[in-house]
Amino acid sequence: QGANLFFQLIARRYEKVSTVFTSNKPFSQWNKVFADVTIVSAILDRVLHHCTVVNIKGGSYRLEERKEYMKQKQHIVNTLFEQGQA
């Protein structure tokens, strides 16, 4: 159902307006996301026809922020624990 609805959206926008996609999955794995190879092929045919692919590699800013937050939280817990023992 989802793949069909997504295809309808892409088909209506095809060659009429610009569309920006962001994904953490390469095109080769879209058939695992949508589970219908025929619809995925039709979607990618339209999406890739006039596209520019920008592949960004690197770490996640959200993940880095979360790691820093957890470090600070652990530091606070350790400080409170050490003060409680004194």
Helix 2-13 × helix 37-49 angle, to 10°: 20
Positions of the chain with pLDDT lower than 70, given as ranges: 84-86
- Cα separations (Å) of 34 from 2, 6, 23? 7, 9, 13
73/71 Cα distance (integer angstroms): 5
For residue 86, what pLDDT is reported?
Answer: 58
For residue 83, what pLDDT is reported?
Answer: 74
For residue 76, what pLDDT is reported?
Answer: 81
For residue 77, what pLDDT is reported?
Answer: 77
80/16 Cα distance (integer angstroms): 60
